[in-house]
Amino acid sequence: MSRTDLGMPTFPQAARVSTKDAGLRANLTHATHTIRAKRAAAVAELPDWPRLRAAGAAVKDHTLRHLDHYLLQLEQAVTQAGGTVHWATTAEEANRITADIIKATGETEVVKVKSMATQETGLNEALAHHGITAYETDLAELIVQLGDDKPSHILVPAIHKNRTEIRDIFTRTMAAWGRPAPDDLHDTPAELAEAARLHLREKFLRAKVAVSGANFMIAETGTLVVVESEGNGRMCLTLPDTLISIVGIEKTIPTFRDLDILLQTLPRSSTAERMNPYTTMWTGTTPHDGPRNFHLVLLDNGRTDTLADTTGRQALRCIRCSACLNVCPVYERAGGHAYGSAYPGPIGAILTPQLRGTSTPLDASLPYASTLCGACYDVCPVAIDIPEILVHLRERVADQKDGHRAERTAMKAATWLLDHPAALSATERAASATRRLHPNRLPVPGPGKAWSDARDLPDVAAESFRAGWKKARGARTGTGTGTGTGTNEPKHDKDKDTPR
Amino acid sequence: MRVALFVTCVNDALYPDTGWATVRLLERLGVEVDFPEAQTCCGQPQFNTGYRRETEPLVRRMARAFDGYDYVVTPSGSCAAMVRDNYPRIGDKALAEGRGSELADAAASLRGRMLELTEFLVDVLQVTDVGAYFPHTVTYHPSCHGLRMLGLGERPRRLLQAVRGLELRELEGAEECCGFGGTFAVKNPDVSVAMGRDKVRHALDTGARVLCAADNSCLTHLDGILRREAAPLHSLHIAEILASTEEEPFTPRPARGGGTSAGPSSARPTTSTAARSRS
C-alpha cells in the first residue's frame, strides 16, 4: 500500500479530536446501532449461520493457500473470454496501468463503480495527474467526492454525514461537477436521491470508460462479480465501451459453487438484506452486449507479504462486509477518518498495518486501536480472529527498534517483579503503607495522567490479599511452592480468619 | 476436590475484598480453598500489549504454582480467558520458534482446569442459588472476555437472580465493551473514557444502586469515572454480592480516608446507603 500519508496524526491523536465532535458521534452512533440491530435479525433468520460462516472461511482459506494456482487459472479463463489481464505489484503500478489504458482510448473522463481497491491505491488522485477526471457514481462516494472529503466507512462512505449536511454539499458543489442540484432541494431522502440520480444520469450516458473493483473473481470461469444496492454500478459495468477492473488478488474464489456461500453471508452481514438488490457478473467480453474491451488489473500491493504471515493472513479472507465496523465501539467513537486509511475500523486496524507496514507512527498506532473486546470476531462472516491478529501485530510494533523502548523496559520490570513474589509482596506492602498519600489524579504526563485526566485512580488496599492470607492462614498453606496442603487441613474458623 | 484460588494481581493489590469474598463463598459451599503463594499474574497486560516473550516466565510460574490442583478458580473472566485462549498460542509460538515443548506443556497444563468463578459455581458445583442475601438494586455489566472468550452466557445473571432481596435491572447495551481494554485505557484515553461514560450513563439510567461485573479491571475503569463524576452508583464485584448473607452481610472496606464509605468518592456501599433508593 503506497498511500502512506506521512504526517497523518496517529490514531489516538485523531481520536482526541473526533471523540469531541458531538455531531459526528451522534451520526455514527445512530447509523451503526441501526444497522447492527438489523444485521443481527437478518443473521438470526438462518438456522445454519455457524456452518455458512465456517464454510466461507474454509473457501477463502483454501483459495489463499493455493492462490498461485487459482490466479493463473483465473488469468487463463479471463484471457480466453476476451479480456486482458495485467499484474500490478504496487499501487503505483496499478494506477499507471489504468491511466495508460484510459489514455489509449483518448478519453479524459471515467465513471467509477464504488471500489475499495481504488481507494487503497488512490486512483482518482493519480488519474487527475494525467488529466483524467474520475466520477464516483455510488451515492455515498458521490457525497464524499462532492464534499472534498474522505470515506469513513467501507460500505457507507458518508456515514459521518447527516441528511442536512448532504443537502448542503449537493447545493454547494454539484454545479461544478455537472448538472446542478435543484434550487429548492430539501433534505428528504427521496429528493436527495432524485438530485443524485439526475446528476449521475448525464455521466452514465456520456462515459466511454468505466473503472470498477470486484467483490469476487471466479477462477474456474474468469467471471467477476459486483454486488451493490443502487444499480449505479451496473450502469457503469454495462454502458461504456471499455471496462477496467482493479481487484486485489485475494478476491479470488475457485468455483461458482463457492459464490453460493458468500452471496448468502455478505449481504446479511453488510446491509442486513437477504439478498443484495443488484448482483452483476461478467466474463470477459461478449459481442453486442456490454463493454467491448475488458481489462483486469490484479493488485498485490502488500498482499503476498501478508499471505506469508501464518497468523496475519486470515485478514485476507475479508469480504469487505463492514459488519466489524458496525459493532466496534472504538470505531463508533473515533470515526473512520481516525484510521487514516481506506480501511477503517477493526478490519482496517489489522489490514492496513499489514499492507502498508508499521513504520509510520500512524500505522504503528493502528494495532492498538482496539480494546480486544471481540465483538468484531463474533460478527465476522468469515471468522477472522481480529483480536488475535491485533495482538500479533502489536508484537511486531513492540519489536521495532524505534519507540516503545520505555514501555518494553517497564514490561520487563513488571515481569521481573511478578516472577519474584517476595519482591512483589514488599512492593505491595510499600504501596499499602503509603496509600493515604496516593493522589486521585496524576499531573505528570504519562500513563498515569492519561488515566486520571477523566478517571480517579483506584485506591491501594490497606493490606494485599497475599499479605492478609499469609497472616491469617499462612501457617496452614505450606511454602507456596504450589503443592498446596489445604485438603488435609482442619476446617478453619471463618470469623477469626477473615480479615475484616 | 483440591481447589486453588487464583486471586489475580489486580485483586491482590487493589481488591483483596474480592479475593476474600470468593474464599468465603466457596467455603460456604463446602469447597476447600487453597492460595498457592507462588502465584502472581497471568501476564495478560504484557501479552495483550505485544510483549509475548515477557509473558513466558509468568506462564511457567502459573503452571508451577497451580500444579496438582483439580481446579483453579479465579474471580476474573479476562484472566481465565488469558490462560485458556492465549496460553496455548504462547506455547505454540514457542514451539514454532524451536524452543522445545516445555513452555507448550506448561501452557497446556492449566487449560482445562482454569475456571472463572461463576463457571465453577454453575458448571462444577452445579448451583445457581448460593444462599446469598443482598437487598439492593443491581445492574450487571458482562465483561467482554467473560462474555465472548469464555462464553459465560447467562451464568452470572442466573446467580444474581437467585440472590434473595436482589433486584436485577437490565442494562442497555450491556454487551458493549466498557472501554477499559488493559493498556488501551492509557494508550487511547479519549476513546476509552468516551466508552466508559456511555456505559456509566446506561448504568445510571437503570436506577440501580450497584453496578456489578465479574471482572474488577472493568470496574476499576468504570469506578474511576463514577468517582470523578461523583455519580450515585457503586461498583462491586459479583463475588462480593454472592458472598453476602443475612448473617454476614456485605460490609465495605475502609476507604482511603480511613473511615468506611464516608462519601460518594469512597464508592463502596454500606448496607444503609445502598438501601436508599436513588432520587
A488, pLDDT greater than 60:
no
- Strand, coil or helix: A367: helix
Candidate from A202-211, A327-336, A467-476 with smallest mean pLDDT: A467-476
Q: What is the pLDDT of residues A407-429, one digit of tens each?
A: 888 888 898 999 898 889 889 88
Please tell me the distance from the alpha carbon of residue B202 to that of residue B56, in angstroms, as a whole number. 39
B240 touches chain A (CB under 8 A): no
Nearest CA in chain A to B23: A498
Lowest mean pLDDT among A45-54, A177-186, A489-498: A489-498
- Percent over 70 (pLDDT), chain A: 93
> Does pLDDT of A286 surpass 90?
yes
Q: B12, A464 in Cβ contact below 8 A?
A: yes
**Across the interface, do A398 and B50 touch by the CB < 8 Å criterion?**
yes
Q: Which residues of B touch A388 (CB under 8 A)?
A: 89
Find the residue in A nearest to B52 (Cα).
Answer: A395
Q: Render B243-269 in DSSP notation, one character per residue.
A: H--SSS---PPB-TTSSBS-SGGG---
Instruction: Give the residue from A424, A456, A473, A492 with the most B CB atoms within 10 Å of its CB, the best one to mutate.
Output: A456
Flag if B36 and A482 touch (Cβ within 8 Å). yes
Q: Rounded CA gap, B181 and A342, in Å?
A: 25
Pairing of strands B167-169, B234-237: unpaired
Confidence band for B253, pLDDT divided at 50, 70 and 90: low
What helix, strand, coil percent values describe chain B, rounded to 5? 50, 10, 40
For A468, residues 6+ apart whose C-beta sits below 8 A from its C-beta are A499, B16, B20
Residue to substitute from B5, B6, B12, interface A, most A β-carbons within 10 A:
B12
Residue A468 pLDDT > 70, yes or no?
yes
Structural domains in chain A plus CATH codes? 9-45+322-430 (no CATH), 63-306 (3.40.50.10420)
Task: Check if B61 contacts A (Cβ < 8 Å).
Answer: yes
Unique residue bearing C-alpha cell 470508460: A209
pLDDT at A5: 53
pLDDT at A266 over 50: yes
Among B66, B89, B190, the residue with its CB nearest the CB of A16 is B190
Q: Which residue has the higher pLDDT, A489 or B221?
A: B221
**Does residue A495 carry a pLDDT above 90?**
no
* Distance between CA atoms of residues B12 and B68, nearest Å: 22
Q: What was the pLDDT predicted at A156?
A: 87
Taking only the tens place, the pLDDT of each residue in A131-164 is 999 999 999 999 999 999 999 999 989 888 889 9
Residues of chain B contacting residue A465, judged by C-beta atoms under 8 Å apart: 7, 11-12, 16, 19-20, 35
**Share above pLDDT 90 across residues of chain B, in percent, rounded to a whole number:** 88
Q: Residue A93, SS3?
A: helix
Q: Which of A11, A435, A486 sits opposite B33 (nearest CB)?
A: A486
Contact B210, B252 (CB under 8 A): no
Choose between A178 and B253: higher pLDDT: A178
Average pLDDT over residues A184-198: 95
pLDDT at A200 over 70: yes
Count Cα neighbours of B13 within 13 Å in the Cβ-side half-sphere.
Answer: 21
State residue A479's pLDDT score.
42
**Residue A486 and residue B189: Cβ atoms within 8 Å?**
no
Which cell numbers in the block locate residue A170? 449537493
Q: Where are the alpha helices (DSSP H) in A158-242?
A: 163-177, 189-206, 232-238
Distance from CA of B279 to the nearest CA of A (A): 24
Q: Is a pLDDT exceeding 50 seen at residue B265?
A: no
Residue of A416, A459, A488, A491 to mutate when probing chain B, most B C-beta within 10 A: A459
User: Which ipTM was obtained for this model?
Assistant: 0.91
Q: How far is CA B269 from CA A31, A340, A461, B176, B261, in A?
A: 38, 45, 16, 25, 7
Task: Identify the weakest region by mean pLDDT among A204-218, A392-406, A431-445.
Answer: A431-445
Helix axes A256-270, A49-65, angle to 10 degrees: 120
| Res. A106: pLDDT tops 50 | yes
* Best residue of B51, B66, B70, B176 to probe chain A, by most A CBs closer than 10 Å: B51
> Is pLDDT above 60 for B227?
yes
Domain coordinates of chain B in residue numbers? 2-124, 137-243
- pLDDT tens digits for A357-367? 999 999 999 99
Cβ pair A419:B192 closer than 8 A: no
Beta strands in A47-129 (DSSP E): 84-88, 109-112
pLDDT band at A491 (very low <50, low <70, confident <90, very high): very low
C-alpha–C-alpha distance, residues A343 and A347, integer Å: 7
Cell numbers at A386, concatenated = 481480529
Helix (H) or strand (E) holding A469: helix A465-473
Cβ <8 Å between B225 and A489: no
- Any idea which residue has 509510520 for its cell? A360
> In this predicted structure, what is the pLDDT of residue B66?
97
B49–A394 C-beta distance less than 8 A: yes
B57/A contact by beta carbon, under 8 A: yes
Is A461 in Cβ contact with B253 (below 8 Å)? Answer: yes
What residue in A sits closest to B250 (Cα-Cα)? A500
Kindly list the residues from chain B whose CB atom is less than 8 angstroms away from the CB atom of residue A487: 2, 32, 34
Q: Do B13 and A464 touch (CB under 8 A)?
A: yes
Cβ <8 Å between A461 and B46: no
The per-residue pLDDT for A485 is: 36
Q: How far apart are the first and last CA of chain B?
A: 47
Which residues 144-203 of B have a C-beta within 8 angstroms of A? 144-145, 148-149, 175-177, 179-196
Taking CB atoms and an 8 Å cutoff, what residues of chain A touch B175?
375
What cell does A135 get?
A: 466520477
Mean pLDDT score, B62-75: 97
Task: Report CA-CA distances (Å) from B136 to A16, B163, B272.
Answer: 38, 10, 10
Q: Which residue of B has its CA nearest to A450?
A: B186
Q: Which CATH fold would you assign to the domain B137-243? A: Rossmann fold (3.40.50)
- The answer to whether residue A353 scores a pLDDT higher than 60 is yes
- For the segment B6-26, the average pLDDT, to the nearest whole number, is 97
CA distance from start to end of chain A: 60
Please state the rounded mean pLDDT for residues A109-137: 97
B52 and A CB contact within 8 Å: yes
pLDDT score at A190: 94
Bridge partner residues of A108 (DSSP): none
pLDDT for res A51: 97
Are B162 and B137 in contact, with CB atoms under 8 Å apart?
Answer: no
CA distance B71 to chain A (A): 12
List the single residue in A421, A452, A484 with the smallest CB-CB distance to B4: A484
- CA-based nearest distance A168→chain B, Å: 29
In 3-state terms, what secondary structure has residue A217?
Answer: strand
Please state, rounded to an integer, the average pLDDT across all residues of chain B: 91
CB-CB contact of A116 with A301 (8 Å): no
- CB nearest to A394's CB, from B50, B144, B255: B50
Q: What is residue B273's predicted lDDT score, i.e. its pLDDT?
A: 36
pLDDT at residue A115, rounded to an integer? 96
Give the residue-averaged pLDDT of A29-35.
94
Q: Output the pLDDT for position A117.
A: 97
For residue A475, is pLDDT > 70?
no
Helix, strand, coil % in chain A, rounded to nearest 5 = 55, 10, 35
Residue of B nearest to A489 (CA): B32
**pLDDT computed for residue A57 by the predictor:** 98
Cβ contacts below 8 Å, chain A against chain B, sum to 245
* Interface touch B50/A397, C-beta < 8 Å: yes
Residues of A with Cβ-Cβ distance to B144 under 8 angstroms: 371-375
Q: Give me the residues paired with residue A88 across strands.
A: A299
The letter for the amino acid at A351 is: L
Contacts of A380 in chain B (CB under 8 A): none
CA nearest to B6, candidates B29, B31, B40, B45 = B40
**CA distance to A343, A373, B73, B91, per residue, from B41 (Å):** 36, 20, 14, 17
Using pLDDT thresholds of 50, 70 and 90, give the confidence band for residue A13. very high
The H or E element that residue B171 is part of is: none
CB A234 within 8 Å of CB A278: yes
Confidence of residue A486 (pLDDT cuts 50, 70, 90): very low
Q: pTM of the entire structure?
A: 0.91
Residues of chain B neighbouring A419 (CB-CB closer than 8 A): 40, 57-58, 61
The C-alpha atoms of residue B183 and residue A447 are separated, in whole angstroms, by 9
Quick check: B265 and A456 CB within 8 A? yes
Q: Answer left, alpha or beta for residue B68, where phi above 0 means left and psi between -120 and 50 means alpha.
A: left
**What was the pLDDT predicted at A6?**
60
pLDDT band at A42 (very low <50, low <70, confident <90, very high): very high
Contact B156, B122 (CB under 8 A): no
